[in-house]
Amino acid sequence: MATKLASKSEHLYKRARELIPGGVNSPVRYYSPYPLFVASAKGSRFRTVDGEEFLDYCMAYGALLDGHAPEEIVEAVQMALARGSLYGQPTEMEVELASLISSLVPSMEMVRLVNSGTEATMHSLRLARAFTGRQKILKFEGGYHGAHDSVLVRAGSGASSLGIPNSEGITKNVAEDTLVAKFNDEGMSRRIIEDHTHELAAVIVEPVMGNMGPVLPRPGFLETLRKITQENGVILIFDEVITGFRVALGGAQEYFGIRPDMTVLGKILGGGLPIGAFGGRREIMEKLAPLGGVYQAGTYSGNPVSVAASLATLQSLKRRARQ
Ligand SMILES: Cc1ncc(COP(=O)(O)O)c(C=O)c1O
């Protein structure tokens, strides 16, 4: 009896799992019995190393708004690459990109570029802590804000708002500084914010919950969050890594008409290249080094290749939104 020949994906997976934990560089990419290994992609489709073609409904978890390898992005990246991929010095394109982001998302009066959504939420939370002089943050059950300690926290048992670690290796102390409320529960959010008013630095929220749904905010929920945070001197951070440039050109904040103090962007912003951004009120952003005492840095931050892809993406979205 003929035995079925193993696919190249299966072979690669066997090799990969000897060298890379779980055979993948991000856990969501693993599925049973083994992930498909991709050779190339264009538009709505990708081709595996075994030559099979698939319609791609995942689009790199929402990063590829225009599909795989759109011409405009490929050209922009090729041109940037030919001029040098990293200078360790500022470029004109970074100023253009900051200006474009600010014009599309006006609450982002100043912008810092980073390399991922995770970096962007991490630095925005540190900044909020420094600005308010407070330590705790509030997130919502089911919301995902990246893979750093403060946000890898889920709700504790019962009515407790105290967070518990969602991953091994996160200290109890860090987790305890993250409070967790139920999305769309105005009463619970109000109670936690008012009970912790002197120790709560920030509320971070996906304005439309993309990571457990999508779940839309109930009418009035985001407005209530805005009002209570303002009344209690708490920084409201919209994590628009998924909603940014998708729900509306100016993100969920444009769609719902709410101005957060800070905003986090990623995914679509890079048009398929790694980039993230955080920004907000000028007085908050000016606390960042070298102006202020909040340290934030990155060798690849604002690198010309990612910035070129991002500029091409946003310019294209802006052009099409006008049509
Ligand atoms: C809402 C949200 N914030 C932050 C992140 C983290 O972004 P990254 O994977 O680029 O670090 C994600 C990633 O899925 C996300 O969905």
- What is the domain partition of the chain in residue ranges? 11-57, 71-322
Q: Residue range 10-27: average pLDDT?
A: 97
Among 64, 121, 241, 268, which is best to mutate for testing ligand 1, by the most ligand atoms less than 8 A from CB?
Answer: 241
C-alpha span between 196 and 179 (Å, rounded) = 10
Ligand 1 neighbourhood includes 121 CB (under 6 angstroms): yes
Residue 57 is given by DSSP the state S
C-alpha span between 216 and 219 (Å, rounded) = 9
Ligand 1 neighbourhood includes 240 CB (under 6 angstroms): no
C-alpha span between 262 and 235 (Å, rounded) = 7
User: Is this structure's pTM higher than 0.85?
Assistant: yes
What's the confidence (pLDDT) of residue 184? 98
Distance 5 CA to ligand 1 centre (A): 38
What's the confidence (pLDDT) of residue 156? 73
| Position 248 pLDDT exceeds 70 | yes
CATH number of the structural domain 71-322? 3.40.640.10
What's the confidence (pLDDT) of residue 160? 61
What's the confidence (pLDDT) of residue 114? 98
Distance 241 CA to ligand 1 centre (A): 6
Among candidates 173, 184, 180, 118, which has minimal Cα distance to 147? 118
Q: Two tokens at 69?
A: 């390898």
Among 122, 123, 144, 208, which is best to mutate for testing ligand 1, by the most ligand atoms less than 8 A from CB?
Answer: 144
1 confidence band (pLDDT: 50, 70, 90): low
Q: Amino acid letter at 174?
A: V
Among candidates 179, 177, 125, 186, which has minimal Cα distance to 156? 179
State the closest ligand 1 atom to the C-alpha of 118, by its place in the atom list counted from 1.
Answer: 11
Among 29, 204, 267, 300, which is best to mutate for testing ligand 1, by the most ligand atoms less than 8 A from CB?
Answer: 267
| Position 254 pLDDT exceeds 90 | yes
Question: 115-129, 147-161, 163-177: lowest mean pLDDT where?
Answer: 147-161
Q: Which residues contact 272 (CB under 8 A, 6 or more apart)?
A: 60, 63, 64, 68, 69, 73, 309
Ligand 1 neighbourhood includes 304 CB (under 6 angstroms): no
Distance 262 CA to ligand 1 centre (A): 16
Report percent pLDDT > 70 for the chain: 97
Ligand 1 neighbourhood includes 23 CB (under 6 angstroms): no
